[in-house]
Amino acid sequence: MSDTALREVLAPFVPMGRAGLLPALHAAQQVHGWLPEEVAAEVGRALKVPLADVHGVIEFYTLFYGRPVGERVVRVCGDPTCALRGADRLIEGLCAAAGVVEGGTSADGAITIERVPCLGLCDHAPAALVDECVAIAADPDDPGRLADDVTTHPPSVIYGSQRVLTAVCSEDTTGIRDYEACGGYRALRRALEMGPEAVIAEVTAAGLVGRGGAAFPTGVKWEAARNEPARPKFVVCNTDESEPGTFKDRALLIDSPHLTVEGMVITGFAVGASRGYFYVRGEYPYIVPVAERAMEEARRAGYLGDDILGSGFSFDIEIRVGAGAYICGEETALFESIEGKRGFPRVKPPFPTSHGLFGKPTVINNVETLCNVPPIIREGADAYRRLGTEGSPGTKLFCLSGDVAKPGLYELPFGVTIRELVYQHGGGLPGERDVQAVLLGGAAGSFVTADRLDVALTMEDLRTEGLSLGSGVVMVFDETRDLRDVLARLGRFFAHESCGKCYPCQMGTERQAEVLDRIAAGRPEAGDVDRLQDIGWTMADTSLCGLGQTAATAVLSAMQHWPELFEETP
């Protein structure tokens, strides 16, 4: 690539300065294939970012390459759900066919094959990304190669007894006309008539809490941001769902992108923001054109942009794409990423509602949370609360995967039990096998044993049981599975994804992974139980953010239920 051509590629991002660093690196890599020294240097000069900082960003995010890679890059998920379905055999088969070692590039430079963390394709396991396209195993029962056909629109497998958020989800992306025909953007019109304070009051009355895992009351967050005097204010849609086993946001955005757009606009109106950022994880590149098309349709229809529906309220959305970092699901790390930095979490307080993106008041919600806003405003809080329970109103999206007959996304009212979800809705376990364990909440969640399947999936019931729903992951393991291998994969995931900012997490996740790998290999040592407990408790008590604080949750849970897994072999 010539210097002139590179400068032309970078030109749109120059006015952004440092904040344009990630999109500029994406654009340069898209053309060049990787990011050699001369490209990094030109990016730094164009955006006036020190070269050391440019290299720091390139090295931090796994989807940026500071070394040559193949013309095609195949990334195969190796996390638990795909592993249950033969991901290891798939990687071995692909490497053998291409004549490469795992993580290597073929001699002719045609292909690079990598093992990567969860791709959010658990309902299609085992799965891979071939450049920006989704591919699944040609034979799921004997995975050794990928199917010849790839797609930029992975089909969503959606079930549910109460289709509120997924009402217009189908095999094709819902365009604006079909969305309007089903009541789309009526909530926005009603919100503009109600006024910001009434909108916040309605969301508060509905009892909506964050669906990303923290379950913080949405109305409280919005009101705090609205009451801040500083300007400008921002709304951020967190689409960095990287928790292993989670794929709900992917399905919502691919099938019904206007629901998220409408939710973001209403949020902006309620809190007094004029700009929103849609941050999508780098492993979801196929979502970007879908979101861009939906936003452009909304602008043409007057739902997005200047003077929305003649109300005098203006709000627009900018898309930002991550580059492979689980930590960027943490809200302040996501802000750092948008600002063109390594995704390090910030110390809190101050909180995002007063000092968020670019140091300004910011509301950040995930996709599922934002998608709950239009039905609440359209139908009213009372109607919303008729579903679910008193303490957990509405519906919830459950990501059911693993050893279950019908893996997929399930929208059900809060209150369904784990047993009902797995057996009544999910079709039970293949081969009439029994449940050994259910991992609830994802890699940062806890295990549920077979005798606790009748617990109701509500915030209050799970809290009583010492469990958390997290992002909605329900991962099933049958009686034949070796949970030591599952734990080792979770350990490697956290060791890989720790950002390294705080020492307890940086060192703790590495030591935890080493011990779990040793146990999985059948070589436990005396004192491993104490080591894992000390590591886990130390990370939980002293880590800066939720990653380190929950990196040992599943391990400590397994130690409580199955202590024999960690015992030294006689």
CA dist 353 and 359 (Å) reads 10
DSSP state of 351: P
CA dist 113 and 423 (Å) reads 37
The percent of the chain in helix, strand and coil, each rounded to the nearest 5, is 45, 15, 40
C-alpha atoms less than 13 angstroms from C-alpha of 150 in its C-beta half-sphere: 14
Residues 6+ apart with CB under 8 A from 79: 87, 117, 118, 244, 245, 443, 489, 493
- 91 close to 141: Cβ distance less than 8 angstroms: no
pLDDT at residue number 313: 98
CA dist 333 and 328 (Å) reads 5
C-alpha atoms less than 13 angstroms from C-alpha of 392 in its C-beta half-sphere: 21
C-alpha atoms less than 13 angstroms from C-alpha of 38 in its C-beta half-sphere: 7
CA dihedral (259, 263, 264, 265) positive or negative:
positive
pLDDT at residue number 570: 45
- The type of residue at 501 is K
Q: How many Å separate Cα 558 from the centre of its chain?
A: 24
Of 188, 261, 223, 199, residue with least CA distance to 361:
223
CA dist 82 and 128 (Å) reads 10
Of 251, 222, 223, 248, residue with least CA distance to 235:
222
pLDDT at residue number 452: 96
Element (H, E) at 25: helix 21-32
Q: For 408, phi and psi rounded to 5 degrees? A: 160, -170
Q: Is the pTM of this model over 0.85?
A: yes
Element (H, E) at 40: helix 37-47
CA dihedral (47, 49, 52, 57) positive or negative:
negative
The string of DSSP letters for 483-520 reads: HHHHHHHHHHHHHHH--SSSHHHHHHHHHHHHHHHHHH
CA dist 460 and 415 (Å) reads 10
Of 319, 323, 353, residue with least CA distance to 341:
323
Q: For 506, phi and psi rounded to 5 degrees? A: -55, -50
Q: Give the 3-state secondary structure of 143-159.
A: CCCECCCCECCCCCCEE
C-alpha atoms less than 13 angstroms from C-alpha of 460 in its C-beta half-sphere: 8
What does each of the 570 residues of the chain score in pLDDT, given as a tens digit? 667 889 999 999 999 999 999 999 999 999 999 999 999 999 999 999 999 999 999 999 999 999 999 999 999 999 999 999 999 999 999 999 999 999 999 999 999 999 999 999 999 999 999 999 999 999 988 899 999 988 888 888 899 988 999 998 877 889 999 999 999 999 999 999 999 999 999 999 999 999 988 889 999 999 999 999 999 999 999 999 999 999 999 999 999 999 999 999 999 999 999 999 999 999 999 999 999 999 999 999 999 999 999 999 999 999 999 999 999 999 999 999 999 999 999 999 999 999 999 999 999 999 999 999 999 999 999 999 999 999 999 999 999 999 999 999 999 999 999 999 999 999 999 999 999 999 999 999 999 999 999 999 999 999 999 999 999 999 999 999 999 999 999 999 999 999 999 999 999 999 999 999 999 999 999 999 999 999 999 999 999 999 999 999 999 999 999 999 998 654
CA dist 535 and 522 (Å) reads 20
- 475 close to 428: Cβ distance less than 8 angstroms: no
Of 213, 205, 243, residue with least CA distance to 79:
243
CA dist 410 and 386 (Å) reads 19
- 146 close to 272: Cβ distance less than 8 angstroms: no
- 364 close to 337: Cβ distance less than 8 angstroms: no
Specify burial of residue 2 (Cβ count, 10 A radius: 0-12, 13-18, 19+).
exposed
